A and B are shown apart, each in its own frame.
Chain A
């Protein structure tokens, strides 16, 4: 007998039918009357002074309605460091810098107009290596900062690392590096901006942060001299997010500026090449890590220093250290931890949020280092992890209050399903890596909240207005399930609306795998209030106190006398259609009781943490260096699987993204220029690259999650790279410390090993 009716069921995604029939409207599919098309002209140099821009020939092209350059627009500051502008004025600092923009009556004309804009540049010396950019003599990317090193606070030290290092029995020290990869959303980026007669803005845009985007656009309007205007953000159906929509972009602001100039709606949609070149990437990292343990294998310290290539402008990439701290201080029990991250400007592309937000990079280094340390200490890597695994109800040095924790069980599930101890053929190896991720929100902003409003109609149907965002991951469905469960309604009677800031309450955004937890709790809170209202209404009608009434299958029943019952819809109509009638609505703004990190980065960032372990069995072809994955087990402690079907979808998708990160994906930048801006040369995995994946789900029933659930959106891609790197080492004895693990790197390492191995 299942515990719940709807929660825990593999309910199909609520909008799957529209998507399966071609009815879903993505940004590309929206057309407004009188709409113009915007296109952006990008820089021809990685670093140059803009000497002159001549738009006269472009202006004369029939169909061109507006051309904007940096001089034509007010100062709108973009990015977390406010160092970016929608259109550049004096300098370009990377190939993706926006130099001019055109609005025309059709996209081909807009494109042609771009080719008629003449820009003269004076090339400046460039810097593409972050370590080189740190030197005093390096060319300055932002002259007014007088240094390429960003003023960022990423420095923490808990305990005494130096003392611990001095007394540790075993110490390892290594450098690891990760490079740029990109989201590859199947829908390219785009926005449509439109002003009304009173200069209020409506913008249709692919965003994961509708409320914060609204704020950014209000700031833009203020800069444009439009104070006290309204901004309405409408989300079309979004064709993929993965963190790419976690910031507002230059192109959105350009669409707004063009719409304001032309007084017409302006649609700006990227083509695929533009998507590769001009959207942000995952933050690359140079990671120096040192770890030590005592004679019994207990970790005594972890010391990490990172250099992050910040690219030309600052977006969320420079804040990934705030999340990297999580695995650094809290993955496994480590009493003494030190971490410092330096972000450096270069003339490369800039990074922002991508699934995992720094966790995959940090975990690659940490979990590879765990295996190295285990080997040095002479301890089996699985045993080593068990010795140091986090346990429930602990507090980490960073102040993270771990509630539920199924890490040990996940490690066991992996070793069991992978048949860890089974004899291996030549070239075969197994590897494991664990993960921790925030699972109950993440207080990275002043608010980590989400609001929900639920209204009931005359037929017992519920409309749920949520601030949450769905990009395909299933927020719409999970929220519907939670409300349906609480109100004992069939899922078909619950409609979730999340698309419009004029209608939906505030939410900080779909990030940090927080939607099920935070938006779920918010919806649950509103549903509980509504339930109370229904029971009170019914109490009058059934002449029984609310305490002995219950909701069951669209009815209110009396627990003690089930014959006493009334259908909810009848109850609602009775209440509505009478003198002095009422209709029921409830709202709940849930802001979890987590904490902002203090100046020393201490604090309980999340209400709960998701744990997991990935294990992989590989076969390395020692003549070609190719790594073949024979089996992949991804075990996660999710608290409760509200929807096992969609949850698995997140895990499988995350794992394939993680495997791509580990083995094949990389944005190739050559002196700042993207050399592979297409699906042919950017090696995203295809259906023929799938591997057997098992995804055991462990339920630890978190006390704070809705029905016990924790987040799962990101964990699926976090430990894939180290699990694979560890397996390759187990298979053929070579340690690859630089992602991706290409055949060339593996083969070169094998040859080097052979050279240095004395013959028997």
Chain B
């Protein structure tokens, strides 16, 4: 009941045997010790388990490990550079309040990355459409959307994303 698969995981080539009934989520968390990808519901309704497979955002809870054969997979552990430099999205989420309890954050960051890789300058509607499958209870999505917008801004533009006012 096991199959050998070869795939690229976070820029590293891997060959290993997987049980045919394992989901990718199980493979990542229980077998490979990559705990960054979270299980929020197990049925594709919350997006907490989002990973990127061949450039596409996909729920790992509904993807068979066996199907990972020949694919390029990116999890949250692979988002920062090997030397630890944070991805601009990560940096922006941190700076702009896009993370509170953080449970939705790995999935949210990868869904955002998949969007920006395909569409580097999305409109607000396009951002919301891309994140529609990622549930967040803490932020109300506002600072998440702000973080993504700020990550898209050209480097020489000083984007003031935190739009709040204080009465003196």
Contact = CB atoms under 8 A, between A and B. Distances in A.
Q: Quick check: do A and B touch in the complex, using CB within 8 A?
A: yes
A239 B102 contact: yes
A26 B139 CA distance: 18
A289 B138 CA distance: 32
A475 B167 CA distance: 24
A17 B94 contact: yes
B137 A28 contact: no
A187 B136 CA distance: 11
Contacts of A690: 128, 140-142, 145
B75 interface: yes
Contacts of A684: 135, 137
Contacts of B137: 183-186, 240, 242, 653, 657, 684
B75 A697 contact: no
A563 to B, nearest CB: 36
A20 B99 contact: yes
Given A20-B86, A21-B86, A684-B137, A28 B38 contact: yes
Given A186-B137, A472-B100, A653-B138, A25 B35 contact: yes
Interface in A659-714: 678-680, 684, 686-688, 690, 693, 695-699
A111 interface: no
Interface stretch (A379-387, A397-405, A643-651): A643-651
Given A26-B38, A187-B101, A698-B167, A644 B138 contact: no
Given A238-B101, A652-B140, A687-B134, A22 B37 contact: yes
Contacts of A28: 35, 38-39
B43 A272 contact: yes
Interface in B22-46: 34-43, 45-46
A272 B41 contact: yes
B143 interface: yes
A326 interface: no
Interface residues of A, number: 63
Interface string A1-23: 00000000010110111111111
B141 A656 contact: yes
B90 interface: yes
Contact of A186 (B42, B48, B77, B145): B48
B95 interface: yes
Interface in A10-53: 10, 12-13, 15-26, 28-29
Most chain B CB neighbours (cut-off 10 Å) among A16, A19, A20, A652: A20
Contacts of A698: 166-167
A187 B107 CA distance: 13
A23 B99 CA distance: 14
A413 interface: yes
Given A21-B80, A186-B48, A649 B40 contact: no
A679 B45 contact: yes
A15 B93 CA distance: 12
Contacts of B140: 652-657, 690, 693
A20 B45 contact: no
Interface in A228-269: 237-242
A118 interface: no
Interface in B71-101: 75-77, 79-80, 86, 90, 93-97, 99-101
Given A186-B101, A186-B103, A409-B167, A20 B139 contact: no
Interface string A158-197: 0000000000000000000000000111111000000000
A572 interface: no
B142 A693 contact: yes
Nearest to B89: A20
B49 to A, nearest CB: 11
A127 B104 CA distance: 39
A296 B165 CA distance: 35
B35 A22 contact: yes
Interface string B152-168: 00000000001011110
Given A26-B38, A648-B97, A237 B102 contact: yes
B36 A22 contact: yes
B16 to A, nearest CB: 20
B144 interface: yes
B42 A645 contact: no
A286 to B, nearest CB: 27
B129 to A, nearest CB: 7
A21 B167 contact: no
A645 B96 contact: yes
A568 B60 CA distance: 50
Contacts of B43: 272, 678, 680
A306 B12 CA distance: 62
A696 B167 contact: yes
Given A29-B35, A187-B101, A20 B93 contact: yes
A12 B103 contact: no
B114 interface: no
A641 interface: yes
B90 A21 contact: yes
B131 interface: yes
B105 interface: yes
A271 interface: yes
Contact of A679 (B46, B76, B79, B128): B46
Contacts of B138: 186, 240, 472-473, 649, 653
B88 to A, nearest CB: 11
A413 B167 contact: yes
A645 B139 CA distance: 11
A26 B97 contact: no
Most chain A CB neighbours (cut-off 10 Å) among B80, B136, B142: B142
A241 B102 CA distance: 12
Contacts of A12: 94-95, 97
A114 B102 CA distance: 32
Interface in A438-490: 471-474
Contact of B99 (A13, A188, A240): A13
A188 B86 CA distance: 28
Contacts of A242: 137
Nearest to A276: B41
A115 B101 CA distance: 34
Given A29-B35, A272-B40, A657-B140, 18 more contacts: A16-B94, A17-B86, A20-B93, A20-B105, A21-B36, A22-B79, A24-B102, A28-B35, A184-B135, A186-B137, A187-B38, A238-B101, A409-B167, A473-B100, A644-B162, A653-B139, A655-B140, A687-B131
Interface of B: 34-43, 45-46, 48, 75-77, 79-80, 86, 90, 93-97, 99-106, 109, 127-129, 131-145, 162, 164-167
30 contacts: A13-B99, A16-B93, A17-B90, A19-B101, A20-B102, A21-B86, A22-B36, A22-B79, A28-B39, A185-B101, A186-B46, A186-B48, A186-B138, A187-B103, A237-B102, A239-B102, A240-B101, A271-B42, A272-B42, A472-B100, A644-B166, A649-B100, A653-B138, A653-B139, A686-B132, A687-B134, A687-B144, A693-B142, A697-B166, A698-B167
3 A-B pairs with the lowest CB-CB distances in the bound complex, closest first: A22-B36, A472-B101, A19-B102
